[in-house]
């Protein structure tokens, strides 16, 4: 069959092109634009080249924030993934209790970020918060506004509370898709509970777990609202994660150039890590978990 | 290896079954002889998988007992019964190599590593996968995976019984033949009691010493392929086995004469006082198309299947199939049929009536 050449067909992709331009390309290019210029106000801009990028790469502040960010994401992944899988394994597989568990677990996922932040901000307060007050009454020193460790524990526990359900729900979906014959075969082969998990459940869950890990990584790496509401990045800079620092720089100090350079590098880091995750995991999948 | 006795066995998926229709498996008493190969044959939903799962212990029956060599195992777990089962769809442990898949049941039972290595090699050879033993199991085709499942089922030598639940569904036709033959030779070699569930009559008849035909939750007949062919105990057996199945024609019977729509037919046996739905059953193999006397038919079409011709005809508004030898010409004047009285069976309410030889 001969191909029909009709250049007017380009018009058909115009709507998509416009949509993507306005939703992604133009905003991104504005940031790129800021990152290579400097301004002294009055809407006058001067060419700055890669100066901001060089400055940000030398900035101890950014490296510190990146370090804290990586630590935060690593900790929540290490807690949420096994915990989510554990919950999924122990959930009722069918019947009314199964539905009940699913609904209960979905609830935290439906709460807006800043509300979650506010809940935990109040919950952890030593004067009026149930958690803070109780711990204080038990003689445990806990004050997330002054103690770095307490602040970290608070934001991590909050994130675990908010998002473990997502991992659990995805893992549960993976578990539900395993045909009964596998469990029956395992029974006949006298496989131990651990062997069933290791050789049947885990490999079959791998696909959805990958998605869960990727989602949780990206989300946690970009987290802003909840820790901002609870600790505001403090005490000091102890919980100033990347996006909190970025907002401080861009809106607090109005350093648009460095902030834009920062944003672009931030974006590239997320892209890079997600890509690495994805490649490693798909390779694992090909080799069979 | 063991004799398996089913004693008053029945199963319902309802917690409190009331009427007989609530039972997926109706009451059953049978001894599965040690070392025989059985097939459970029936259409989908007839209860054959239910029966198999009860024997393997994956399902506990609502009533009755199961005995292995006289020992009550009704409440014993699958592992304690020491049986092996192969499922309809391949079950392989994805992350293991073929070798480890085959070794898994032996390792779990703490067998000696040397013995395991030797036995796995042997089974690998048996299923024709020696070359693939060190490949990861999930890189293989569905055929090969099912061969692994079969191999894993056979790896233990001391099993009481080997159960197969439509194991060749996903296998290519030419492989089916090969695997079935292999299973059969394994059976001869090791003498395991084997129970093979299928809805394919060819599979059942070629594999098994005895075939149990199931219909609507009931085992309607257990017998050798020949018995099923010649004396079907139930019209369903006649209809289900054979290609095409048995012709079932309603008739009035008095003594040794059957009356089909006004035409009398002589029978081999005498029957007395038949009440209910009376029918005669005759296989297409024993119907002859003639120009002379007999029941009038309208020939609708003739299908030549190579070895013979199948004549589809109309007998008083009901379909009748007739098998005609390859050499025989079907002429337009052949519009009557006669039955071989030796092979005419009489059914009352779908069940075979023995009759009396007089």
Q: What is the CATH number of the domain that holds B127?
A: 3.40.50.300
Q: pTM for the whole thing?
A: 0.74
B226 domain-assigned: yes
The pLDDT-based confidence of A85 (bands split at 50, 70, 90) is: very high
Q: Does A193 touch chain B (CB under 8 A)?
A: no
Q: Which of B70, B44, B65, B63 is nearest to B55 (CA)?
A: B65
Q: Are residues B143 and B224 in the same domain?
A: yes
Report the DSSP beta bridge partners of residue A64.
none
User: Which long-range contacts (C-beta less than 8 Å, at least 24 apart) are formed by A228-231?
Assistant: A228/A117, A229/A114, A229/A117, A229/A118, A229/A121, A230/A117, A230/A120, A230/A121, A230/A124, A230/A144, A230/A151, A230/A154, A230/A155, A230/A158, A231/A144, A231/A145, A231/A151, A231/A154, A231/A155
Contacts B108 to A, Cβ<8 Å: 189-192, 195
The residues near B346 (Cβ < 8 Å, ≥ 6 apart) are: B253, B258, B267, B269, B271, B274, B278, B279, B280, B281, B352, B353, B355
Predicted pLDDT at A237 = 83
Looking at the fold, whether B221 and B271 belong to one and the same domain comes out as no
Assign residue B265 the CATH number of its domain.
2.40.50.140
Judgement on whether residues B17 and B76 belong to the same structural domain of the protein: yes
Q: Are the beta carbons of B267 and B343 closer than 8 angstroms?
A: no
Tell whether B202 is covered by a domain: yes
pLDDT tier, A168 (very low <50, low <70, confident <90, very high otherwise): very high
Q: Are residues B134 and B156 in the same domain?
A: yes
In Å, how far is A285's CA from the nearest CA of chain B? 10
How confident is the model over A275-289, as pLDDT tens digits? 888 888 777 666 544
Taking CA atoms, B289 is separated from A155, B331, B332, in Å, by 89, 10, 11
CA nearest B106 in A: which residue?
A189
Alpha-helical (H) ranges within B72-141 are 78-81, 98-108, 113-126
Q: Give the residue among B143, B165, B148 at the shortest CA–CA distance from B85.
A: B165
In a shared domain, residues B283 and B198: no
From the list A189, A203, A288, the residue facing B152 with the nearest CB is: A189
- The residue among B308 and A254 whose pLDDT is bigger is B308
Indicate whether this complex's ipTM tops 0.85.
no
Domain's final residue, options B240, B263, B282: B240
Tens of pLDDT along chain B (358 residues) come to 678 888 888 888 888 777 777 888 888 888 888 888 888 888 887 888 888 888 888 888 888 888 888 888 888 888 788 888 888 888 889 888 899 989 998 988 888 889 999 889 988 888 888 888 888 888 888 888 888 888 888 888 888 888 888 888 877 788 788 778 878 887 888 788 888 998 888 888 888 888 999 888 888 899 898 888 888 999 999 888 888 889 998 888 888 888 888 888 888 888 887 788 888 899 998 988 888 788 888 888 888 888 888 989 888 888 889 888 887 777 877 888 888 888 888 898 888 888 777 5
* pLDDT at position A39 over 80: no
* Residue B125 lies inside a defined structural domain of this protein: yes
Q: Is B83 on the interface with A (CB under 8 A)?
A: yes
Asked: is A62-287 a CATH 2.40.10.10 domain? The reply is no
Cβ of A200 within 8 Å of Cβ of B93? The answer is yes
Q: Which residue of B has its CA nearest to A202?
A: B95
Q: Would B224 be classed as within a structural domain?
A: yes
Tell me if B283 is assigned to some domain: yes
Residue ranges making up the domain that contains B184: 4-240
d(CA A198, CA A193): 9
Q: Quick one: B198 and B95 in the same domain?
A: yes
Cβ within 8 Å of A, B 43-62: 56, 58
Instruction: Examine the domain organization and report whether B235 and B253 are in the same domain.
Output: no
Residue B358: inside a domain: no
* Boundary-marking domain end, from B240, B265, B295: B240
For chain B, the domain total comes to 2
Check residue A72 and give its pLDDT: 94
For residues B198 and B304, state if they share a domain: no
Same domain, B80 and B228: yes
pLDDT for A288 equals: 46
Residues of B in contact with A184 (CB under 8 A): 56, 58, 78, 85, 87
- Is A195 near chain B, with CB under 8 Å? yes
Same domain, B71 and B132: yes
Which of B240, B262, B281 is at the close of a domain? Answer: B240
Are residues A200 and B85, on separate chains, in Cβ contact within 8 Å? Answer: no
Kindly state whether residue B135 falls inside one of the protein's structural domains.
yes
Residue B214 pairs in a beta bridge with B219
Shared domain check, B217 and B117: yes
B101 & B235 share domain: yes
């Amino acid at each position: 069959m001969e191909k029909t050449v009709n250049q007017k067909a380009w018009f058909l992709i115009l709507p998509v092109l416009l949509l993507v331009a306005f939703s992604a390309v133009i905003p991104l290019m504005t940031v790129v634009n800021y990152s290579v210029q400097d301004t002294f106000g009055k809407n006058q801009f001067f060419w700055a080249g890669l100066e901001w990028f060089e400055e940000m790469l030398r900035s101890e502040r950014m490296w510190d924030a990146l370090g804290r960010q990586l630590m935060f994401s690593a900790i929540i992944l290490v807690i949420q993934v096994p915990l989510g899988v554990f919950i999924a394994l122990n959930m009722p597989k069918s019947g009314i209790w199964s539905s009940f568990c699913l609904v209960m677990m979905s609830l935290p996922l439906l709460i807006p970020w800043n509300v979650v932040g506010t809940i935990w901000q109040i919950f952890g307060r030593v004067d009026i918060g149930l958690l803070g007050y109780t711990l204080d009454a038990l003689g445990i020193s806990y004050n997330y506004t002054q103690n770095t460790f307490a602040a970290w524990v608070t934001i991590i526990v909050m994130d675990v509370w908010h998002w473990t359900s997502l991992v659990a729900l995805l893992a549960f979906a993976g578990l539900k898709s395993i045909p009964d014959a596998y469990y029956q075969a395992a029974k006949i082969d006298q496989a131990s509970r651990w062997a069933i998990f290791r050789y049947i459940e885990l490999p079959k869950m791998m696909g959805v777990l990958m998605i869960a890990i990727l989602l949780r990584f990206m989300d946690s790496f970009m987290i802003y609202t909840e820790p901002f509401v609870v600790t505001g990045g403090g005490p000091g800079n102890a919980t100033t994660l990347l996006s909190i620092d970025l907002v401080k720089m861009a809106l607090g100090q109005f350093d648009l150039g460095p902030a834009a350079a920062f944003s672009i590098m931030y974006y590239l880091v997320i892209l890079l890590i997600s890509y690495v995750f994805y490649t490693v995991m798909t390779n694992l999948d090909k080799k069979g978990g | 290896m063991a004799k398996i006795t089913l004693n008053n066995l029945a199963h319902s998926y309802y917690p409190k079954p009331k009427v007989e229709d609530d039972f997926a498996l109706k009451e059953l008493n049978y001894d599965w002889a040690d070392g025989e190969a059985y097939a459970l044959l029936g259409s989908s939903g007839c209860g054959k998988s239910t029966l198999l799962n009860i024997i393997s212990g994956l399902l506990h029956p609502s009533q009755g007992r199961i005995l292995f060599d006289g020992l009550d195992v009704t409440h014993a777990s699958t592992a304690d019964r020491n049986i092996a089962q192969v499922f309809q769809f391949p079950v392989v442990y994805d992350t293991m190599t073929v070798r480890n898949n085959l070794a898994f049941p032996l390792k779990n039972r703490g067998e000696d590593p040397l013995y395991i290595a030797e036995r796995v090699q042997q089974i690998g050879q048996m299923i024709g996968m020696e070359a693939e033993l060190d490949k990861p199991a999930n890189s293989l085709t569905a055929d090969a995976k099912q061969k692994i499942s079969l191999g894993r089922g056979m790896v233990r030598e001391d099993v009481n019984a080997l159960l197969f639940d439509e194991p060749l569904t996903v296998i290519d036709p030419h492989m089916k033949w090969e695997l079935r033959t292999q299973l059969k030779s394994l059976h001869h070699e090791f003498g395991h009691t084997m129970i093979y569930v299928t809805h394919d009559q060819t599979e059942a008849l070629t594999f098994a010493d005895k075939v149990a035909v199931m219909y609507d939750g009931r085992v309607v007949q257990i017998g050798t392929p020949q018995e099923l062919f010649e004396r079907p105990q139930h019209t369903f057996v006649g209809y289900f086995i054979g290609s095409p199945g048995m012709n079932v024609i309603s008739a009035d019977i008095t003594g040794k004469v059957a009356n089909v729509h006004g035409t009398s037919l002589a029978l081999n046996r005498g029957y007395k006082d038949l009440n209910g739905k009376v029918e005669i059953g005759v296989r297409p193999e024993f119907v002859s198309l003639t120009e002379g006397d007999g029941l009038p038919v309208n020939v609708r079409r003739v299908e030549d299947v190579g070895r013979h011709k199948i004549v589809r005809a109309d007998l008083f508004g009901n379909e009748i199939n007739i098998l005609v030898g390859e050499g025989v010409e079907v002429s337009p004047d052949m519009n009557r049929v006669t039955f071989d009285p030796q092979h005419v069976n009489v059914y009352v309410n779908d069940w075979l009536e023995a009759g009396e030889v007089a």
